[in-house]
Amino acid sequence: MSTSGAASPGTAVPAYTLSSTSPISTPFTWYPIQNLITTEKKWGGYFVIPPPPVTSPPTTYTTQVPLPLKPDVIGCAGCAKNDPGNGYDAGGITLQITAVSATSYVASCSLTIKVDGANTITIDGGHFYASFTPPRTFAPGQFPPAATVGLPGSEGGVVAQTAVVGGTPGGVIYLACHWGVTKCPGN
């Protein structure tokens, strides 16, 4: 995603399978929360993608190219009005969706925390939304619980959240990932 100016609705982030460095034809697509909740004043957004096909072994869609590792999605902290210029890059986000069966999908959101020579970045919590049903709120504390590992997270580390995708399978999967980020001057 671009890191200058406000993120545009419909911004596409390439999707890959875990076994290929070539993107699939369907990207992860980003939208501001106001596309769903027009009265929402907060910044933030969500991604949508159709579910991966049910195969054996299971198919996983990811935003991360298997090799070389290079996140296409930035973890933007303090980015008011969805503009990275209003905040800072806390690290690289990787989204994944796995088709376990025709009625079961698992999603994850991980953050590889940026090493910042002038500041110390830590992650102290997170919230993750993964469902076939659009979010009704963008208050991250009201998202369903997700399994979280790696907290507290520090520079160069990885924190991750995993959840069973809610709702009735069909259509697209909605994903919203939120992390509690602190940036302190000096190392």
Which amino acid does the sequence have at 63?
A: T
In the structure, what pLDDT confidence band is assigned to residue 3 with cuts at 50, 70 and 90?
A: very low
- pLDDT at residue 108 above 80? yes
Q: State the average pLDDT over residues 5-11.
A: 69
In the structure, what pLDDT confidence band is assigned to residue 4 with cuts at 50, 70 and 90?
A: low
Q: Which residue has the higher pLDDT, 9 or 18?
A: 18
Residue whose structure tokens are 């999603």: 107
Indicate the range of 1-15, 57-71, 95-109 predicted with least confidence.
1-15
Phi, psi of 35 (to 5 degrees): -65, -30
Task: Kindly report the pTM of this predicted structure.
Answer: 0.88
Q: What is the pLDDT of residues 169-181, one digit of tens each?
A: 999 999 999 999 9
* Domain-wise residue ranges, the chain: 11-185
Q: Is 100 in a helix, a strand, or coil? A: strand
Residues sharing a CB contact under 8 Å with residue 159, sequence separation 6 or more, in sequence order: 110, 111, 113, 123, 126, 148, 149, 150, 151, 153, 179
- pLDDT at residue 79 above 90? no
pLDDT for res 51: 96
Indicate the range of 23-37, 45-59, 71-85, 129-143 predicted with least confidence.
71-85
Q: State the average pLDDT over residues 52-67.
A: 85
